[in-house]
Amino acid sequence: MFDFDLFQHLTDGLVIMDSERTILQLNPAAHRLTGWQIGEKVPHCTFCQKRVLQPGEERCILAGKEPVSYFESEMPTVYGENLPVAFSTTFLPRNNDRDRQMVLVIRDISKKRKEEEAKMAKLLARQTIEAQETERKRLVQELHDGIGQSLYSISIGLNGLLYSTRDQHLQTTLSDLLHVLNDTMNEVKRLSTDLRPTSLDMLGLDAALSSLISRIERHSLIAIEYQSTLDYNDRFSPHVELNLYRIIQEALNNIVKHSESQKALISIQWIKNREGLTINIEDERKGFPHGEAGKYSTGLGLKHIQERVNLLDGLLEIKSQIGKGTSLLITIPDVRKEMRYE
């Protein structure tokens, strides 16, 4: 017995059509999804429109003699779009194939598709960032084992010459060269630390950030106020620590390059009974027009910050006004978990 009330109230679309694909009945959900009407023919889905047919084969993959339990494609609608849907079919019992009626069940999977696309984008971002970190680690090793060792050997040789010669002019020249060499070795050390801070692995996020801020203050005219409720015992997974460090490092680099600011604030606070963190990063001076954060957030620096925030399942809020600076508010709801990639 046909349950008309159930037919009308199902959330999935139901279409009853004959062997010529003419719609005999459809429920409100099917009409809402597709805009189809009784008496119209069901259009072919995008897969069936393009597929190569064998001689005598029906174009509609659902029109075979056997029911189809599940099939995904995109269905043309009267709204001028192709709707991502999942199909299943069954047949109403009839005396012959000519009178056969098919029940087509349509489920909107556009939300599922968007979730899958977001998941793939997150996976791609993770793999890209992991590749970058692997390359940074390799470069640090090259700097230490190659250039670093060579510079150290040159330093030993020059010092040996300096202390063995009595030629005053040569001593002055060697001393000048050693000063240049010492500056170069310090620069290589700074580059290595920027590429992969050893203090992060050994001492944790709070110590690594303190060291980063001290280096930036030494090499720029910016005074950075650092407020944190973290302590040296607060350790997270290496993935979480590295991404949080890179977020703050990138934000500080942006301030140094673009803000024309002389002051900056970094604040890290526990939330939710020490399960999550909020990170507030502020500068002063330049800023950009109110309400145009989306336009300015497409820059590479903010793009990289957003990617890493997404990997931590966090939220990034950008506020800025011309002449009043910019603030980034980052919320990581669950910082103690290992990073998971479903």
pLDDT profile of the chain (342 residues), mean per 10: 70 89 92 93 90 84 79 91 90 73 90 88 87 87 85 90 90 92 89 85 90 90 92 86 93 85 91 87 74 53 89 91 86 72 38
Q: For residues 192 and 200, give the distance between their C-alpha atoms in angstroms, rounded to a whole number.
A: 13
Domain 4-108 shares a fold with domain 111-196: no
Q: Are 248 and 279 in contact, with CB atoms under 8 Å apart?
A: yes
pLDDT for the residue numbered 223: 93
Q: What is the DSSP string of 175-201?
A: HHHHHHHHHHHHHHHHHHHHHS-HHHH
Give the side-chain half-sphere CA count within 13 A for 47.
13
Contacts (Cβ under 8 Å, ≥6 apart) of 335: 236, 240, 244, 275, 276, 277, 312
pLDDT for the residue numbered 221: 84
pLDDT for the residue numbered 32: 92
pLDDT for the residue numbered 95: 66
Q: Please give the CATH number for the structural domain made up of 199-342.
A: 3.30.565.10
For the whole model, what pTM was predicted? 0.67
Delimit the domains of the chain by residue range. 4-108, 111-196, 199-342
pLDDT for the residue numbered 337: 65
* Angle 261-218-317 from CA coordinates, rounded to 5°: 40
Token pair belonging to 187 = 């620069």
Residue 97: is it exposed, middle or buried by C-beta count within 10 angstroms (0-12/13-18/19+)?
exposed
Contacts (Cβ under 8 Å, ≥6 apart) of 308: 129, 243, 246, 247, 250
In terms of CATH architecture, what is 111-196?
Answer: Up-down Bundle (1.20)
What's at 62, amino acid-wise?
L
**Beta-bridge mates of residue 107:** 86
Q: Are 266 and 281 in contact, with CB atoms under 8 Å apart?
A: yes
Q: Please give the CATH number for the structural domain made up of 4-108.
A: 3.30.450.20
